[in-house]
């Protein structure tokens, strides 16, 4: 960093200097955002009327044991010192130990985040793959039955509690029809068969050529991902529909039609092309939301993901775990924002 | 886009074509349970139910409890016999010959001494079980000694009832740890604590293969245990937080046992010809208590009136639906000295009389801290409605478990509804907290371990009686003393004890020999056949 700055300051042309400044500004903003995020989460953790030592030692510990645990957790120090220690630790790349799981928070996140990533990515994929075409079809057929069907499906997705939908899905597809797999990430027989490389069981199984585990993991993924995907589908199809309706009223669409372009080309190329920028924002936000983890879906499907981890930690005032998980969520939001900025440049001809 | 959808649909279809396993492997026991209470698997630290289940099958304790005769209390464990000196202060344990740890290391007196000393020195929550005998960080090395390759002598500071001392020697923290393995993995003088939090160095019927927090654990059979070998090769326990999901897994045959079924699930499981439900009494007791710092709650007659304002039978039948037995004394049934006297029943007129005598003919306003969730919330609502019949307007303050507990421990509650489970299979465990307050009862006395202190109930006389009961050598007399204390407690204490827990475990018909451990122990997997 220092070296870059020196080069920038002594650089001969103005371009690298401006470039470096821009990067520094982004880095600075990101760092400040993180610091703010940590500070607020830290303070919330201290304001909550829960005694974090209780989570560590339980209700029965003697006063002596309780005090020993309080010192080990560093809770006897003044607040500012606790926070400073934490930030210094984070700068060293450590997130401390979780009281609830007995592991380092880094190890915990390495374990729970891939589970959520796998679920959220598949769900978003499903949501986009079905939601966008559905939104377009609805917009093109505004007021006719395809539109009504899409709107009804959207309304249903919006208003049904995910918990209920998950349980009903399990009952129907697993319990009665026997086409979906049981709750959990793989069958019991396939537990610990593949070595953890990325933590995404589907990917790890494919890398190691364990095709039985691969299909089993995929089989387990379908139902929870469909339930979550249905929610993102509901949102994405509604937004696509309204963006498309706006575009279809534009003069360039009429012009294209008058020019004799095929309807397919007008709709899927010209109109859809123009809604891509706002649509990317919608998809990115919905993806980021899913990456935070969905507590209820994870509960119903016994899916050990980030949402369940964060909630359990929060309820137990396991602050290292809460702060670590919050950092991850913060990174996701910042990362996805940056990514969607980059994507704008790719799809928006003006940005080129 | 359409092409992608088609490809995706094809992949999904292909994956659903894989048939689901119809049954669990023949040589494995698969259990669905809520096990996110496990925070450590070091026997010196394990104190929650699910961790106790692991230790009970992985470690051998100094003394043991026979799963087929839970009422019998302590039986030989790693120690095959013992003797107590005439003054009641010295215990000599003879360790079994020719026992081996999973590592192949022989079990000797050194391992036993190491394990007890380690439990005291690590000073984790269960350490108090040994602390009460005067075994502290500073004294344990002198008080627990090896006197032969297979003989250990323990000296205690007071002549406690031998039954009390020996009952405590069945607790998880007396698990015998493989000293060589623990010390080979020692870091910063921690006796291998960091290592053993997630691993085992033990001699039980099973070896811990792995534990992933809030996900599950796997055990693997190790043959050659002195109690006999396990029948099933593997035990797989998965954390399934949702009870309806547990029931589905059981119905479909993807698990053999589901341990946390709701009453609705139990009803459905009972109707399924392939499944069965087994009831088992546990030691947990549910009560509500009244803070004696409160000006109204400390008036004579007020708490007594409340004892007549609980619909004991109604709660058991409607809200708990068979998952409880009405129980109004602080010792769980099957414990030495337990009584089944139930002097209270719902009697609004009697309660009104008592309230009038106490100066509150029209009742009063009060708050109850309630941990959200079944069945506590529903119970509080029932109590709220029966209280209202005598004019007591009770406000329910909902909170997360740890939140209400934090308030309770700080003595800032009015009424608190909660549960208490015994820490070791001896009557002193509950008497110590329900009927003993050795502090001066001041806020800064920090007697958080005593429920009496938490409710600001000063009882010098009853404390003396409880202290005498724990020293009584004659078991018959000892039982009598606890009976007397409980009857007095029922009349005068600020505790309204309502029921004792009954667990209902759902299992496949072919599962035989599963014991959840009753009030005195944890689950036994090694006895299961299928």
Q: Looking at beta carbons, which residues of chain A come within 8 Å of B11?
A: 218
Closest residue, chain A, to B4 (C-alpha): A129
> Which of A48, A133, A178 comes nearest B5 by C-beta?
A133
Check residues B341 and A331 and name the one with the higher pLDDT. B341
Mean pLDDT of B389-399: 95
Tell me whether residue B413 is exposed, middle or buried, using C-beta atoms within 10 angstroms of its C-beta: 0 to 12, 13 to 18, 19 or more.
Answer: buried
Residue B242 covered by a domain:
no
Select from A165, A188, A225 the residue whose CB has the most chain B CBs within 10 Å, as the one to mutate to test that interface: A188
The answer to whether B15 faces chain A, any CB pair under 8 Å, is yes
Residue B180 covered by a domain:
yes
Using CA of residue B285, residue B286, residue B291, residue B296, what is the dihedral sign?
negative
List B residues 412-431 in contact with A (Cβ-Cβ < 8 A): 423
> Which of B47, B131, B407 comes nearest A60 by C-beta?
B47
pLDDT at res. B486: 98
Domain boundaries of chain A, sorted by first residue? 2-91, 105-347
Q: Looking at beta carbons, which residues of chain A come within 8 Å of B14?
A: 215
Residue B76 covered by a domain:
yes
Q: Looking at beta carbons, which residues of chain A come within 8 Å of B416?
A: none
What is the pTM for the complete model shown? 0.86
DSSP string, A178-225: --SPPSSSS-GGGTT-SPPSSS-HHHHHHHTT-HHHHHHHHHHHHHHH
User: A153 is written with which tokens?
Assistant: 């499906």
DSSP-derived 3-state class of residue B185:
coil
**Domain match, B312 and B191 both:** no
Range with the poorest average pLDDT among A191-200, B73-82, B211-220, B337-346? A191-200
- Topology given in CATH for the domain delimited by A105-347: MetI-like fold (1.10.3720)
Q: Which residue has the tokens 């703010």?
A: A36
Q: Which residue has the tokens 């070296």?
A: A3
**Domain match, B176 and B304 both:** no
Q: What is the pLDDT of residues B421-449, one digit of tens each?
A: 998 989 999 999 999 999 999 999 888 88
pLDDT exceeds 50 at position A4: no
**Domain match, B220 and B293 both:** no
CATH number of the domain residue B475 falls in? 3.10.105.10
Q: How far apart are CA B243 and CA B246, in angstroms?
A: 5
Q: How far apart are CA B171 and CA B131, in angstroms?
A: 13
The answer to whether B232 faces chain A, any CB pair under 8 Å, is no
Mean pLDDT of B198-213: 94
**Domain match, B423 and B321 both:** yes
Residue B274 covered by a domain:
no
CATH number of the domain residue B228 falls in? 3.40.190.10
Q: How far apart are CA A33 and CA A96, in angstroms?
A: 21
pLDDT at res. A293: 74
**Domain match, B311 and B453 both:** yes
CB contact under 8 A, B39 and A99: yes
Q: What is the pLDDT of residues B72-130, one digit of tens each?
A: 889 999 999 999 999 999 999 999 999 999 999 999 999 999 999 999 999 998 999 99
Q: With beta carbons less than 8 A apart as the criterion, state whether B50 and B275 touch.
A: no
Please say which residue of B206, B235, B264 terminates a domain: B235
Residue B514 covered by a domain:
no
Residue B241 covered by a domain:
no
- Tell me the percentage of chain A whose pLDDT exceeds 90: 31
The answer to whether B403 faces chain A, any CB pair under 8 Å, is yes
Distance from CA of B84 to the nearest CA of A (A): 28
Residue B327 covered by a domain:
yes
> Which of B20, B218, B448 comes nearest A191 by C-beta?
B218
Q: Looking at beta carbons, which residues of chain B come within 8 Å of A222?
A: 12, 15-16
Among residues B59, B283, B328, B35, the alpha carbon closest in space to that of B170 is found at: B59
- Model confidence band, residue B18 (pLDDT cutoffs 50, 70, 90): very low
pLDDT at res. B11: 46
User: How many independent structural domains does chain B possess?
Assistant: 2
**Domain match, B359 and B218 both:** no
Q: What is the pLDDT of residues B151-196, one digit of tens each?
A: 999 999 999 999 999 999 999 999 999 999 999 999 999 999 999 9
Mean pLDDT of B395-408: 88
pLDDT exceeds 50 at position B16: no
Mean pLDDT of A149-171: 88
Residue B517 covered by a domain:
no
Domain ranges, residue B393: 282-503
Distance from CA of B15 to the nearest CA of A (A): 5
> Which of A61, A129, A192 comes nearest B125 by C-beta?
A61
Contacts for B259-262 with beta carbons within 8 Å, 24 or more apart? B259/B31, B259/B32, B259/B33, B259/B34, B259/B503, B259/B505, B259/B506, B259/B516, B260/B32, B260/B33, B260/B34, B261/B504, B261/B505, B261/B506, B262/B374
**Domain match, B329 and B464 both:** yes
The answer to whether B36 faces chain A, any CB pair under 8 Å, is yes
CB contact under 8 A, A302 and B238: yes
Q: What is the pLDDT of residues A282-330, one digit of tens each?
A: 999 899 989 887 888 898 998 989 988 988 888 778 888 988 888 888 8
């Amino acid at each position: 960093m220092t070296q870059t700055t020196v080069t920038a300051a002594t650089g001969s042309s103005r371009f690298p200097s401006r470039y470096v400044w821009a990067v520094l500004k982004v880095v600075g903003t990101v760092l400040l955002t993180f610091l703010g995020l940590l500070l607020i989460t830290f303070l919330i953790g201290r304001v909550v009327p829960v005694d974090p030592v209780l989570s560590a030692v339980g209700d029965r510990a003697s006063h002596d044991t309780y005090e020993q645990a309080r010192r080990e957790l560093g809770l006897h120090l003044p607040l500012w010192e606790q926070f400073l220690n934490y930030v210094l630790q984070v700068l060293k790349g450590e997130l401390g130990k979780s009281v609830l799981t007995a592991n380092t928070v880094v190890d915990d996140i390495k374990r729970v985040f891939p589970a959520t990533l796998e679920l959220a990515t598949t769900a978003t994929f499903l949501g986009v793959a079905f939601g966008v075409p559905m939104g377009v079809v609805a917009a093109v057929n505004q007021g006719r039955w395809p539109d009504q069907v899409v709107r009804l499906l959207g309304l249903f997705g919006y208003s049904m509690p995910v918990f209920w939908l998950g349980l009903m899905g399990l009952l129907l597809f697993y319990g009665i029809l026997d086409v979906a797999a049981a709750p959990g990430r793989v069958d019991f027989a396939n537990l610990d068969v593949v070595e953890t490389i990325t933590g995404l069981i589907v990917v790890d199984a494919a890398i190691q050529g364990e095709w039985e585990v691969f299909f089993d993991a995929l089989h387990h993924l379908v139902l929870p991902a469909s339930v979550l995907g249905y929610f993102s589908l509901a949102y994405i199809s509604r937004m696509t529909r309204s963006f498309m309706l706006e575009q279809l009223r534009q003069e360039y669409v009429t012009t294209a039609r008058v020019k004799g372009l095929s309807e397919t080309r007008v709709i899927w190329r010209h109109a859809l092309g123009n809604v891509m920028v706002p649509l990317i924002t919608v998809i990115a936000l919905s993806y980021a939301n899913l990456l935070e983890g969905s507590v209820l879906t994870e509960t119903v499907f016994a899916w050990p993901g980030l949402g369940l981890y964060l909630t359990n930690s929060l309820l137990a005032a396991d602050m290292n775990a809460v702060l670590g998980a919050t950092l991850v969520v913060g990174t996701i939001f910042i990362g996805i924002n940056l990514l969607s900025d980059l994507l704008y440049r790719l799809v928006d001809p003006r940005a080129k | 886009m359409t092409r992608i959808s088609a490809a995706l649909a094809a992949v999904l279809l292909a994956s659903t074509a894989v048939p689901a396993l119809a049954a669990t492997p023949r040589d494995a026991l698969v259990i669905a349970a809520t096990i996110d209470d496990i925070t450590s698997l070091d026997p010196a630290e394990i104190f929650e139910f699910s961790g106790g289940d692991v230790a009970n099958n992985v470690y051998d304790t100094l003394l043991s409890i026979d799963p087929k005769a839970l009422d019998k209390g302590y039986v030989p464990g790693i120690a095959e016999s013992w003797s107590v000196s005439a003054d009641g202060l010295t215990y000599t344990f003879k360790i079994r010959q020719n026992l081996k740890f999973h590592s192949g290391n022989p079990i000797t007196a050194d391992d036993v001494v190491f394990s007890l000393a380690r439990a005291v020195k690590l000073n984790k929550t269960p350490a108090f079980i040994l602390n009460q005998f005067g075994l502290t960080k500073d004294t344990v090395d002198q008080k627990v000694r090896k006197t032969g390759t297979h003989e250990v002598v323990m000296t205690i500071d007071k002549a406690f009832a031998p039954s009390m001392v020996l009952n405590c020697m069945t607790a998880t923290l007396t698990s015998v740890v493989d000293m060589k393995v623990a010390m080979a993995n020692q870091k910063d003088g921690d006796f291998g604590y960091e290592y053993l939090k997630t691993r085992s160095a033990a001699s039980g019927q099973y070896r811990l293969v792995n534990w992933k927090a809030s996900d599950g654990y796997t055990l693997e059979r190790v043959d050659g245990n002195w109690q006999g070998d396990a029948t099933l090769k593997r035990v797989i326990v998965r954390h399934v937080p949702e009870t309806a999901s547990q029931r589905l897994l059981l119905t479909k045959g993807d698990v053999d046992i589901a341990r946390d079924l709701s009453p609705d699930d139990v009803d459905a499981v009972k109707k399924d010809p392939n499944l069965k439900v087994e009831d088992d009494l546990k030691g947990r007791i549910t009560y509500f208590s009244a803070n004696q710092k409160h000006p109204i709650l400390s008036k004579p007659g007020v708490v007594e009136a409340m004892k007549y304002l609980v619909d004991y039978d109604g709660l058991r039948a409607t809200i708990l639906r068979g998952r409880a037995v009405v129980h109004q004394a602080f010792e769980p049934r099957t414990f030495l000295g337990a009584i089944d006297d139930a002097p209270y029943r719902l009697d609004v007129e009697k309660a009104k009389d008592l309230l009038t005598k106490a100066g509150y003919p029209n009742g009063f306003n009060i708050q109850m801290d309630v941990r959200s969730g079944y069945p506590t919330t529903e119970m509080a609502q029932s109590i709220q409605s029966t209280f209202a019949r005598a004019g007591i307007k009770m406000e329910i303050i909902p909170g997360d478990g740890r939140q209400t507990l934090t308030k309770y421990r700080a003595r800032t509650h009015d009424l608190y509804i909660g549960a208490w489970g015994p820490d070791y299979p001896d009557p002193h465990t509950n008497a110590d907290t329900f009927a003993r307050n050795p502090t001066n009862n001041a806020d800064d006395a920090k007697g958080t371990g005593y429920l009496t202190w938490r409710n600001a109930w000063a009882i010098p006389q009853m404390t003396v009686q409880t202290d005498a009961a724990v020293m009584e050598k004659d078991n018959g007399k000892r039982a009598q003393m606890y009976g007397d204390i409980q009857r007095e407690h029922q009349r005068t204490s600020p505790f309204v004890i309502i029921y004792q827990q009954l667990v209902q475990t759902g299992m496949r018909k072919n599962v035989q020999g599963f014991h959840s451990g009753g009030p005195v122990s944890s689950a036994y997997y090694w006895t299961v056949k299928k």
